[in-house]
Amino acid sequence: MPEVMVEVEVRAAQNVLEACAQTDTMERVVFTSSVTAVVWKDGHKLVDAFDERNWSDLAFCRKFKLWHALAKTLSEKTAWALAMDRGVDMVAINAGLLTGPGLTNAHPYLKGAPDMYEDGVLVTVDADFLADAHMAVYESPTAYGRYLCFNNAVCRPEDAAEFAQMISPSAPHSAPSDELKVIPQRIQNKKLNKLMVEFASAIYGDLD
């Protein structure tokens, strides 16, 4: 994602929120953002655990040319500002890297992936879980604010090897070394998990 696309994405967010604000029948907006709008800032290695309260730093993203993170952070901030100004009921989902057919190591989310792995914040989400999360935050009357959304954290050497194989299937890969350590996970999505359990319980009754 080149720098010019940052402005394009911000304008798109602005146009969508303006359209929603002008639609009388709009009940709630679910804005899809990214984990990259959460984890990039000076001192990020010192954060004990990232959650929805964290924001990526714009100057940090520009300095290291993290255009995907910059675009997602700016567009989400723009959306929140407009939602509050226009009285739009908005909830944001900050999704991990969406896995599936067509994913390659050229995906702009993966700029800085080695650092994300070493920091314990390299997370992915599959399409089914992401769709379920969107449904839960849209339908749940108690949903509010931002929700980190992922169902896999790449923290073990074998996870990293499997992830590398997935994004670069034609590249040669070696088995993970026994000397490689497990990276502590430093990002959590307890807020979303709690909401999804409550939503499922409301629909299907007590799952026990």
Where would I find the beta strands (DSSP E) of 16-113? 29-34, 90-95, 97-98
Closest CA to 196 of 132, 144, 148: 132
Burial of residue 14 (number of CB atoms within 10 Å: 0-12, 13-18, 19+): middle
Question: How far, CA to CA in Å, does 36 sit from each of 28, 32, 41, 96, 129?
Answer: 24, 12, 10, 8, 18
Task: Give the distance, in angstroms, between the CA of residue 64 and the centroid of all CA atoms in the same chain.
Answer: 19
How far is it, in rounded angstroms, from Cα 127 to Cα 123?
Answer: 14
How far is it, in rounded angstroms, from Cα 26 to Cα 9?
Answer: 22
Q: Which residues are catalytic?
A: 72
Tell me if 67 sits within 8 A of 108, measured CB to CB.
yes
